[in-house]
Structure 1
Amino acid sequence: MSLTGRVGKSLAPRITELAPGLTTSFVREALSRAIDGVGPLPGAAAAADKQLAEQHGNVERAIHEVIENHVRYAGTQGFATNVGGLVTAAFAIPANITGVTLVQCRMIAAIAHLRGHDLHDPRVRNAILTTLLGEEVVTSLVRKKKLPAPPMALATAPAHDPNLDAIISAEVAADLIARIAGKRLATTIGRRVPVVGGLVGMGADGYATWKIGRYADREILPRTRGSAAR
């Protein structure tokens, strides 16, 4: 884990001070907006279908384009100002975190859609949020038995476990708090070192989104007939 990540984790319990609007309900609302569409962005399935059409039905190429597009979205300055009511409703949360969360949820959901998963299935929604945590965090949580399984297993579980909804939402909210704390530290450093400040402003979110996209590509596999919603 990076220095900013370690510092972020140590500050994560100060949730009220760092981001009083960042709750588990915010996490679920962000996911819903990412799937249904918000502001200038159409929903995840529509974005995925557009890429699939442009790639002449080649799913793997469409997934590659989905990831590349969302990496660009994440790195675009000022994106979060265009995501509409969600930012207004959660004004206490730094707009950058709000925007990047939406972008990354939308990207993962688009990949899941292209792999044949139903975005309205609560199991799939839990898998999307779990993927948002990133491979290292997911592996650690599964090892510590804080999560029962990685995203693909959650998406194709025999039945939806409602108790997991709150657990996963809480883990994602804590992770976002850690990101906020880490970014505040990095921004402070960046004020003194202009090059670092520029990288934090444009490169960090894009790189993080690329990593999560690659993880989603590896983890969320095509749905088989036996894993269809029951």
Structure 2
Amino acid sequence: MTDESDEKLNTIEKVGAALVEQLTRVVDHGVGPLAGSRTYAEARAASYGDPERAIRRIINETTVMAGTAGFVTSLGGFITLPVTLPAHITGQAILNARAVAAIAHLRGWDLRDEVVRQAILITIAGGSPNAMLAGFGVKVTRKLAETAIQRLPIEVLRSINKKVGFMLVAKYGTKRSVVTLTKLVPGIGGVVGGTVDATFTRVVARVAKKAFPPLGSDDNVKYAGVQ
């Protein structure tokens, strides 16, 4: 690669790492007017009683907010990145992050667990957690007790975060702000460009419902299809 290509890749890596850090913070603590995922999920569960009804409400609310340009743009202003992305793009990522983690929480997944947190980030990027985590040698069962005792080596965590960072930029970035990743990173999939709207939020929500099945029944089934 040329020096220019190397510089662009370094920029993408920095932006991706910042997105991973910021979205993790959104899940844990919220941002701006939005509460963190646990607080949000538990408030909806208290209102609707049944977790699945609460999840449907979360998806509907998030989809509406994702389609509201002014609201989404205001959220994007709370994220600081090495390269400025349009506020409505980062706002979409914030909304999707909170919703995915809320779905996982309502279905019994521990948001503090390292593997679960990685799966949430992959889902936010529109990826399939089972396939990607398996590629790093991670096997996750649906038993929370088993999942919680699994600790990933720091090198594995860094590798996963780096790839997730690239995926997030590919999904939420624009040509104007970064580059077309497919030309620089083989296999990353998709061209950077265009806006992510309510339709993508629906897609991410469907992936989240599949990736985080309800715990408690048939706990021996492997997580999200990982065999």
What is the TM-score of this pair, normalised by structure 2? 0.69
8 Å CA contact 2:76, 2:90 repeated in 1: no
Residue range with higher mean Cα deviation, 207-216 or 20-29: 20-29
8 Å CA contact 2:19, 2:81 repeated in 1: no
- Match 1:43 to one of 31, 36, 40: 36
Matches within 5 A, 1:3-14: 14=8
Taking a change above 3 Å as real, the CA distance of residues 43 and 26 of structure 1, as seen in their structure-2 partners, is same
* Paired residue type of 1:105: A
Residue 20 of structure 2 corresponds to 27
In structure 2, C-alpha distance between the alignment counterparts of 1:71 and 1:107, rounded to whole Å? 10
Matches within 5 A, 1:154-165: 157=147, 158-161=149-152, 162-165=154-157
Task: Report the structure, 1 or 2, having the larger helix content.
Answer: 1
- Say which SS state the counterpart of residue 69 (structure 2) adopts: coil
| Higher relative contact order, chain-length normalized (CA < 8 Å, sep 6+) | 1
Unaligned runs of 5+ in 1: 1-10, 185-199
Residue 213 of structure 1 corresponds to 205
* Identical pairs, percent: 29
In structure 1, C-alpha distance between the alignment counterparts of 2:79 and 2:69, rounded to whole Å? 15
Are residue 101 (structure 1) and residue 106 (structure 2) matched?
no
Matched residue count? 196
In structure 2, C-alpha distance between the alignment counterparts of 1:82 and 1:211, rounded to whole Å? 23
Unaligned runs of 5+ in 2: 178-193, 221-227
Runs of 4+ in 1 over 6 A off after TM superposition: 150-155
Taking a change above 3 Å as real, the CA distance of residues 75 and 174 of structure 1, as seen in their structure-2 partners, is same
In structure 2, C-alpha distance between the alignment counterparts of 1:22 and 1:108, rounded to whole Å? 21
8 Å CA contact 1:52, 1:62 repeated in 2: yes
In structure 2, C-alpha distance between the alignment counterparts of 1:102 and 1:125, rounded to whole Å? 15
Q: CA deviation at 1:64?
A: 0.9
Are residue 148 (structure 1) and residue 148 (structure 2) matched?
no
In structure 1, C-alpha distance between the alignment counterparts of 2:163 and 2:140, rounded to whole Å? 14
Q: CA deviation at 1:15?
A: 4.2
- Match 1:121 to one of 113, 116, 131: 113
What is the TM-score of this pair, normalised by structure 1? 0.69
Residue range with higher mean Cα deviation, 39-48 or 174-183: 174-183
Taking a change above 3 Å as real, the CA distance of residues 213 and 152 of structure 1, as seen in their structure-2 partners, is farther
